[in-house]
Amino acid sequence: MNETGTILLAEDDETDVMLLRRAFSEVGIVNPLRVVTDGQEAIDVLTEVQRAPGPSDRMPALVILDLKMPRMTGFEVLLWLREEPATRGVPVMILSSSSHQHDVERSLANGANLFAVKSPATSDRLEFARLVKSWLHFHRLPAACIDGFRAAQAMHASTPIVRGT
């Protein structure tokens, strides 16, 4: 995974996009952020990247999905991502206003790597941004370091973030 690769954010709320951009900036995430406002647009962008000639590292370093979007939900995008061979391995984080256990379980069961509940608290947004930054570094680590990363994740159990794989 390219640590400075693009982050694809599928989010239809402009305020949430602005707050996430600010949190990313505050924690030093320098990856370009490509924002789409609905699920179909996310799939269109990923399909375009898939078909583009050139190196295969053009796939986003990370996809962040809201669950409730127009035209196509985050669930539908997640299923599409996991069915397509070219996108199957792209890390996906769900960032949703829903804290329903069913949504969490469904997201993780369908291949999301992490589920986080949107929060108005600045500290929670910064915690999510720090987690994103860790994920961007995660895939560059030797396998022996991955267990340490997962242990560190488990230590932050008080945050409104549900960890996946």
Q: The domain that contains 52 carries what CATH number?
A: 3.40.50.2300
Question: What is the per-residue pLDDT for 64?
Answer: 96
Question: What is the per-residue pLDDT for 39?
Answer: 95
Residue 31 lies in a domain: yes
Please give the average per-residue pLDDT across 33-40, as a whole number.
96
Question: What is the per-residue pLDDT for 1?
Answer: 40
Residue 2 lies in a domain: no
Residue 29 lies in a domain: yes
Residue 99 lies in a domain: yes
Number of domains, the chain: 1
pTM for this predicted structure: 0.81
Question: Pick the residue with more confidence: 132 or 54?
Answer: 132
- Structural domain that includes position 51: 7-163
Residue 143 lies in a domain: yes
Q: What HEC string does the chain produce? A: CCCCCCEEEECCCHHHHHHHHHHHHHHCCCCCEEEECCHHHHHHHHHHHHHCCCCHHHCCCEEEECCCCCCCCHHHHHHHHHHCCCCCCCCEEEEECCCCHHHHHHHHHCCCCEEEECCCCHHHHHHHHHHHHHHHHHCCCCHHHHHHHHHHHHCCCCCCEEECC
Question: What is the per-residue pLDDT for 133?
Answer: 87
Question: Pick the residue with more confidence: 119 or 53?
Answer: 119
Please give the average per-residue pLDDT across 106-124, as a whole number.
89
